[in-house]
């Protein structure tokens, strides 16, 4: 395993983190998997043995059951791991059962700590944007939790660029805690984060943790244009992430399989290896229904793709060069910062096309 510094903090995280989205199987989460304690223990053991030091969960995964299972499985060996959890999503029918109000965050953190059987959460994510609660209220509540020793670091998830920058600006102005990480969806198929979120990661030191780095298995090489495996979440009706251009997806998968075949590795490993080369990336949060899924993903950390292979993957997956970026490319590129290049490096050949 390799370890990377998380954003502008001093925390080292494994390049592969373990996602526990499949633990519990309550409600719609059963479409992904339904891992109980014994199955979860086996998967966690495989990850810990592989050097993974981050286990990621959330209060709303199976309505808290995922946290309960993680807590039981890690009982007696909590010190071996960094635990993340999240709050913001609706978890009940009451008017205060969602959001990032002081009331909701402190209550949900306390409940998560009980379910996880721990006295602190290492990284506490704001799971989604809340446009109603003032950011000062959210950040002051997180500050109180940090001062009480109940959380160590804070992060955001699924924020847009302006939302992250607004939160960082208020944190700096008010001497409140800063996000050190953002957990986002970013894959060969979904590269929209390159427009704003990866440049922010480089410029502001908000390290990237990626959720569903294989696009819910679509980039694993197990799928083809015509059918989904009977045991897949897609076959069960799970629709996230959305695929807006299926032909582009399968063109990407074709290149993944071609490179994988030539290198004697799996398509999933090639996809993960590409993502780990991208700017600002700290860790990829992977899930799986079998031990082999995790061990395969962990092995990808040691796969180094050639310049030619990276270029092939970049070209087949590259998104449109939207405004104002094409204009900046034409007139500002001689004064780009490293944060600018987090996007523009993928379009260096655009003038030659």
CB of 125 within 8 A of CB of 157? yes
Beta bridge partners of 283: 209
DSSP 146-173: HHTTSEEEEEEES--HHHHHHHHHHHHH
Distance CA 63, CA 79 (A): 25
**Which 3 state secondary structure label does DSSP give 182?**
strand
**Pairing verdict, β 3-5 and 179-185:** unpaired
Residue 228, C-beta contacts closer than 8 angstroms, at least 6 positions apart: 234, 235
Q: For this structure, is 61 an active site residue?
A: yes
Residue of 6, 27, 24, 26 lying closest to 15 (CA atoms):
6
Distance CA 246, CA 243 (A): 6
Distance CA 225, CA 331 (A): 41
Q: Which of 61, 159, 186, 325 is catalytic?
A: 61
The per-type count for the chain, helices as H runs and strands as E runs, is: 12, 10
Residue 25's CB: how many other CB atoms inside 10 A?
A: 17
CB of 7 within 8 A of CB of 180? yes
Catalytic center residues: 61
């Amino acid at each position: 395993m390799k370890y990377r510094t998380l954003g502008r903090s001093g925390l080292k995280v494994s390049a592969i983190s373990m996602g526990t989205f499949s633990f519990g199987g309550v409600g719609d989460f059963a479409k992904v998997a339904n891992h109980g304690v014994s199955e979860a223990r086996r998967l966690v053991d495989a990850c810990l043995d592989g050097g993974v030091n981050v286990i990621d969960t959330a209060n709303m995964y199976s309505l808290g059951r995922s946290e309960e299972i993680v807590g039981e499985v890690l009982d007696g060996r909590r010190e071996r791991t960094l635990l993340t959890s999240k709050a913001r999503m609706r978890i009940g029918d009451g008017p205060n059962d969602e959001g990032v109000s002081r009331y909701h965050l402190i209550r949900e953190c306390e409940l998560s700590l009980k379910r996880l059987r721990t006295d602190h959460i290492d990284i506490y994510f704001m799971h989604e944007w809340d446009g109603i609660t003032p950011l000062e209220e959210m950040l002051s509540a997180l500050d109180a939790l940090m001062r009480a020793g109940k959380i160590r670091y804070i992060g955001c998830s699924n924020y847009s660029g302006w939302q992250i920058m607004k939160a960082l600006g208020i944190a700096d102005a008010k001497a409140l805690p800063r996000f050190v990480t953002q957990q986002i969806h970013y894959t060969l198929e979904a590269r929209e984060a390159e427009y704003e979120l990866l440049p922010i990661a480089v410029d502001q030191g908000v390290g990237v943790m990626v959720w569903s780095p294989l696009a819910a298995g679509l980039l694993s090489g197990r799928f083809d244009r015509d059918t989904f495996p009977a045991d897949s979440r897609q076959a069960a009706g799970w629709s996230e992430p959305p695929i807006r251009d299926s032909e582009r997806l399968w063109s990407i998968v074709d290149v993944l399989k071609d490179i994988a075949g030539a290198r004697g590795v799996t398509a999933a490993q090639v996809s993960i290896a590409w993502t780990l080369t991208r700017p600002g990336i700290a860790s990829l949060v992977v899930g799986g229904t079998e031990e082999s899924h995790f061990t395969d993903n962990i092995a990808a950390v040691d796969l180094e793709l050639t310049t030619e292979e990276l270029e092939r993957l970049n070209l087949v997956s590259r998104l449109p060069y939207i405004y104002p970026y094409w204009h900046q490319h034409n007139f500002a590129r001689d004064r780009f910062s490293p944060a600018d290049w987090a996007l523009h490096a993928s379009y260096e050949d655009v003038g030659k096309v």
